[in-house]
């Protein structure tokens, strides 16, 4: 991965998630520098930075895919924050989750709601500071 891709990925993460994106980059680089190159440089610098879909659309797709995969609590936590940061509403996130019930099943959607609740609380806490 070249530094241009990493820079582009960092910019995209900041655009999508604000300071939370910067925190994730720093933590990943510290803990797993090789993984950071792929996640930040490729995932965000190449894939998320592509044109054609809005950031809101990309977050809707990502959240739906993460719910379908299951066992993605950390990623859902981040992407719920990112979705709210790019303008999706709590109502829209709720509808996305409910829409997934017939496709992926109630247990996976229940798990996603259990992750969304604390994210909403964190957002309220951040707003009041």
At 39 the three-state DSSP class reads helix
Task: Write the CA distances from 47 to 40, 51, 113, integer angstroms.
Answer: 10, 9, 26
Q: Provide the token pair at 124.
A: 């309220």
Tell me, what's the pLDDT at 92?
98
How far lies 37's CA from each of 1, 42, 127, in Å?
6, 7, 31
101: its two tokens: 């019930």
pTM above 0.85, yes or no: yes
pLDDT at residue 127, as a whole number = 87
Q: Is pLDDT of 1 > 70? A: no
Mind listing the pLDDT tens digit for each residue in 19-76?
888 888 889 989 999 999 899 999 999 999 999 999 999 999 999 999 999 999 999 9
In terms of Cα–Cα distance, which of 21, 3, 4 is closest to 12? 21
């Amino acid at each position: 991965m070249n530094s241009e891709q990493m820079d582009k990925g960092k910019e995209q993460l900041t655009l999508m998630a604000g300071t939370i994106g910067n925190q994730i980059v720093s933590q990943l680089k510290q803990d797993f520098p090789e993984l950071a190159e792929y996640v930040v440089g490729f995932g965000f610098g190449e894939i998320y930075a592509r044109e054609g879909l809005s950031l809101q659309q990309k977050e809707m797709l990502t959240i739906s895919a993460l719910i379908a995969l299951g066992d993605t609590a950390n990623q859902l936590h981040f992407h719920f924050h990112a979705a709210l940061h790019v303008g999706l509403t709590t109502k829209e996130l709720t509808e996305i989750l409910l829409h997934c019930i017939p496709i992926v099943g109630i247990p996976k959607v229940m798990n996603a709601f259990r992750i969304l609740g604390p994210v909403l609380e964190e957002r309220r806490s951040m707003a009041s500071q």
